[in-house]
């Protein structure tokens, strides 16, 4: 093992996982003391808590008044699946994929829904597909931020304002951390476990009036599971968008979501949240610029994520290794940091190139991110001594 000296300062919070993510600063289980455990979510107090989550989320995100927002089952995945199964079919679909979750939606649409008129516009990890090739006479499905690649769309300018199809956006690691152009988005999904540091289980589904119109005018040809049904008799079930969830939610999780939303309000709302995550990216960017052994996986700064910060090892000793040994060395790098208790769960996603992934969302303190970086240098020296030929 290398005799490199360990840094003197440790991150106060070593949780840099990309999901579930770090809790908001100062969080303790006492934040859940008033949770309505043992109470029905359909009772008046339970419905009030659920509605409060929706109202605070709407205000923080700046949703247009005519957009609907609902709490749904199965985290962001459940929300995306509800949209795909309920809305796709009337016209062709452009599927955009540049990381594993976008690729997963392609599989669902082509292999499960078995739609025939599907175009796949994809790119390798670290890049974006050519957004100019998207046809907005068709429905378009994409992730705003690729959680497993660290690549996000730079803005919404590429989305046609006069589109004929719907835009369906998986924004799970972008919501509350990036500006979303609501006039360009017809369906948006996310989960509490990302930028707000909430607990997993439930997802959020947001619908524009155009998406509602599609729901009320189109009936899919496939059977619809109960968890996906948002209409009855050709009309939207409005209660779903007022806190009357389709299935039973965890009131502990709901209380935690409210805690995260109240914290977000206290740190300056959406602008404050964006500022915090941008500060984390800035710290990492400055370090990468002066560090020879590492680089961003995203090839262009214009589409580099500020939340899921994905890094690749570019040191000569690492590049000289076989692909199998690179994977082993990357895992060793992660395990060394884990053993020191300075960074947990920062390995690349299992389908992504071997490397590191640091969560830079709003619940991560800039000081903790800064304290982590010298430890990455130390760990690289340790692993180099073990693997370099």
Q: Are 281 and 253 in the same domain? A: no
- Per the domain annotation, does 220 fall within a domain? yes
pLDDT of residue 158: 98
pLDDT of residue 2: 58
E-state strands within the chain: 68-73, 93-97, 118-122, 139-143, 145-146, 151-152, 167-170, 187-191, 202-207, 231-232, 235-236, 294-296, 308-313, 355-359
**Helix runs in 63-221, H state only:** 75-87, 100-107, 209-217
Q: Are 223 and 304 in the same domain? A: no
Q: Which of 346, 362, 273 is nearest to 310 (CA)?
A: 346
* CA–CA gap between residue 341 and residue 17 (Å, rounded): 13
* CA–CA gap between residue 68 and residue 38 (Å, rounded): 29
Q: Return all residues near 223 (Cβ < 8 A) that are at least 6 apart.
A: none
- Per the domain annotation, does 293 fall within a domain? yes
Q: What tokens appear for 123 in the block?
A: 């790119």
pLDDT of residue 4: 82
* CA–CA gap between residue 385 and residue 379 (Å, rounded): 10
- Per the domain annotation, does 14 fall within a domain? no
57, 191 Cβ separation under 8 angstroms: no
Q: State which of 265, 290, 323 marks the end of a domain.
A: 265
Instruction: Say how many domains are in the chain.
Output: 2
Q: Are 337 and 253 in the same domain? A: no
Under-70 pLDDT residues of the chain: 1-3
**At 330, is the secondary structure helix, strand, or coil?**
helix
Q: Are 293 and 227 in the same domain? A: no
What CATH number did the domain enclosing 193 receive?
A: 3.40.640.10
Range of the domain at 301: 269-387
Q: Are 93 and 228 in the same domain? A: yes
Gyration radius from the chain CA atoms: 22
What CATH number did the domain enclosing 313 receive?
A: 3.90.1150.10
Q: Are 90 and 238 in the same domain? A: yes
Q: Are 315 and 198 in the same domain? A: no
Per-residue 3-state assignment (H helix, E strand, C coil) for 194-221: CCCCCCCCEEEEEECHHHHHHHHHCCCC
- Per the domain annotation, does 17 fall within a domain? no
- Per the domain annotation, does 6 fall within a domain? no
- Per the domain annotation, does 139 fall within a domain? yes
User: CA dihedral in degrees (256, 260, 266, 267; nearest 10)?
Assistant: 150
Q: Are 188 and 251 in the same domain? A: yes
- Per the domain annotation, does 355 fall within a domain? yes
Q: State which of 209, 243, 265 marks the end of a domain.
A: 265
Beta bridge partners of 205: 70, 189
Q: Return all residues near 77 (Cβ < 8 A) that are at least 6 apart.
A: 203
Which sign, positive or negative, has the C-alpha torsion 293, 294, 299, 302?
A: negative
Q: Are 153 and 41 in the same domain? A: yes
* CA–CA gap between residue 377 and residue 315 (Å, rounded): 12
Q: Are 259 and 316 in the same domain? A: no
Q: State which of 219, 244, 265 marks the end of a domain.
A: 265
Q: Are 240 and 252 in the same domain? A: yes
Task: Give 142's DSSP letter.
Answer: E
pTM: 0.97
pLDDT of residue 119: 98
What single string gives the DSSP state of each residue in 165-179?
Answer: S-EEEE-TTTTTTS-
Q: Are 245 and 280 in the same domain? A: no
- Per the domain annotation, does 25 fall within a domain? no
């Amino acid at each position: 093992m290398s005799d490199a000296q360990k840094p003197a300062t440790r991150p106060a919070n070593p949780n840099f996982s990309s999901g579930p993510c770090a809790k908001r600063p100062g969080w303790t289980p006492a934040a859940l003391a008033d949770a309505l455990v043992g109470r029905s979510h359909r009772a008046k107090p339970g419905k009030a808590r659920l509605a409060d989550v929706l109202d605070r989320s709407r205000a923080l995100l700046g949703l247009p008044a005519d957009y609907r927002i609902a709490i749904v089952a199965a985290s962001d995945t459940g929300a995306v699946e509800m949209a795909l199964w309920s809305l796709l079919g009337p016209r062709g679909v452009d599927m955009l994929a540049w990381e594993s979750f976008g690729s997963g939606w392609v599989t669902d649409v082509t292999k499960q829904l078995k739609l025939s008129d599907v175009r796949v516009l994809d790119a390798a990890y670290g890049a974006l597909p050519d957004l100019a090739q998207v046809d907005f006479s068709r429905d378009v499905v994409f992730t705003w931020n690729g959680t497993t690649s660290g690549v996000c769309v730079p803005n919404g300018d590429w989305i046609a304002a006069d589109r004929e199809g719907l835009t369906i956006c998986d924004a799970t690691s972008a919501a509350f951390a990036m500006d979303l152009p609501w006039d360009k988005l017809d369906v948006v999904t996310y989960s509490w476990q990302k930028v707000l540091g909430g607990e997993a289980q439930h997802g959020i589904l947001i619908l524009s009036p155009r998406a509602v119109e599609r729901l009320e005018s189109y009936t899919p040809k496939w059977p619809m599971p109960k968890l996906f049904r948002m209409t009855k008799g050709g009309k939207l079930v409005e209660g779903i968008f007022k806190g009357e969830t389709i299935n039973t939610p965890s009131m502990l999780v709901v209380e935690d979501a409210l805690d995260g939303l109240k914290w977000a309000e206290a740190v300056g709302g959406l602008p404050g949240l964006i500022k915090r995550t941008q500060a984390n990216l800035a710290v990492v960017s400055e370090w990468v610029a002066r560090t020879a052994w590492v680089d961003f996986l995203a090839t262009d700064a214009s589409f580099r994520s500020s939340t899921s910060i994905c890094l690749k090892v570019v040191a000569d000793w690492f590049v000289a290794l076989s692909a199998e040994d690179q994977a082993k060395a990357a895992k060793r790098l992660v395990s060394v940091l884990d053993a020191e208790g300075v960074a947990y769960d920062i390995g690349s996603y299992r389908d992504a190139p071997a490397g590191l992934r640091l969560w830079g969302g709003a619940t991560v303190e800039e000081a903790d991110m800064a304290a982590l970086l010298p430890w990455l240098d130390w760990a690289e020296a340790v692993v180099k001594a073990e693997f370099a030929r």
